[in-house]
Amino acid sequence: VADELLAEISGLVGSKQEAAWIIEHARGRGLEGAAARARILAERRAAGEPLQYVLGSWPFRTIELEVGPAALIPRPETEQLVEVALSRWRDQRPGQGLVRCVDLGTGTGAIGISVAVELSEETAVELYLVDRSAQALDLARKNAERLGVTACFEEGSWYQALDDSLEGRVHLLISNPPYVPDEQRGALDPVLGYEPAEALFAPQGRDGTAGFGDVEAIIGESIRWLAPCGILAVEMGEDQLDAAVRLGEQIGLVDLSCFLDLAGRRRGILAAAP
Ligand SMILES: C[S@@+](CC[C@H](N)C(=O)[O-])C[C@H]1O[C@@H](n2cnc3c(N)ncnc32)[C@H](O)[C@@H]1O
């Protein structure tokens, strides 16, 4: 019976591996009715819904996150963003004894929650998770609670969501903001149509760089919020890196470098406050 179900679900979703995950997920909620539940999930997948939303959870670095249509599905390049930010923090260790970390545009909470979980054995972390979307913030709250992470959840647009008392006191400022150029709406992979548009698309920057508006806002004001030697790490599109480095230099950030994704493309900047 198990082989027959695997064959049936594989036929629906076009992949034996995905079929196995779907069946495992359906069985996780009890053997009774599992085949019927697997068929319903497989039909959603066959209709084009991303596997991550169909399963309802997805791994990110060391944690398993609840995912859903309120927030972007966390990507492997963002795991890399966390990797380089943690590695820079371990080299420089701003915030002796307490790391104050802000994740701007937190979505599922992937970045901030990972930082808190991974640094928990080395230091205390005071975590701020910011998003303009109340639904995304609800998801981040659920994920943080399930993973035993304490955080402040701040709803609003970028730095406006933060209390002024944080100015000049942030040791680790990390963000994966929207950076797909607005002009590409409609021309992208249909799977992206399931993810919230406000998590993906951004206007052009004031300097004319396509899709750079949000990255520009985050880098541009970062120096006001960073503590001395505080670290900034921002993911962006490959074509936005030159503009980001120029802006970082203009506003006085130091130790600027670019980091690469797993495919070897430049995908973000790391910098520090003087
Ligand atoms: C690319 S998604 C990143 C989600 C998550 N950090 C990750 O890496 O998987 C960008 C997030 O920024 C949020 N966002 C977009 N514009 C914003 C703004 N002006 N202020 C705060 N958050 C914003 C979106 O709701 C979305 O959750």
Q: pLDDT by residue (tens digit) across 93-104? A: 888 789 999 999
Separation of CA 146 and ligand 1 centre (Å): 21
pLDDT band at residue 42, thresholds of 50, 70 and 90? very high
pLDDT band at residue 238, thresholds of 50, 70 and 90? very high
Round to whole Å and give the CA distance between 124 and 14: 46
Q: pLDDT by residue (tens digit) across 115-127? A: 999 999 899 999 9
Round to whole Å and give the CA distance between 196 and 157: 16
Separation of CA 148 and ligand 1 centre (Å): 22
Q: pLDDT by residue (tens digit) across 245-264? A: 999 999 999 999 999 988 89
The pLDDT of residue 190 = 67
Q: pLDDT by residue (tens digit) across 136-160? A: 999 999 999 999 999 999 999 999 9
Q: pLDDT by residue (tens digit) across 78-95? A: 999 999 999 999 998 888
Residue 138 has a CB neighbour count (10 Å cut-off) of 16
**Cα three-residue angle 134-139-142, rounded to 5 degrees:** 125
Listed in sequence order, the residues at least 6 apart from 237 whose beta carbon sits closer than 8 Å to its beta carbon are: 179, 180, 181, 211, 267
Q: Is 107 in the pocket of ligand 1 (CB under 6 A)?
A: yes
pTM of the model as a whole: 0.95
Q: Is 133 in the pocket of ligand 1 (CB under 6 A)?
A: yes
Round to whole Å and give the CA distance between 265 and 65: 26
Round to whole Å and give the CA distance between 86 and 172: 9
Q: Which of 52, 72, 129, 141 to mutate to test the pocket of ligand 1 (most atoms within 8 A of CB)?
A: 72
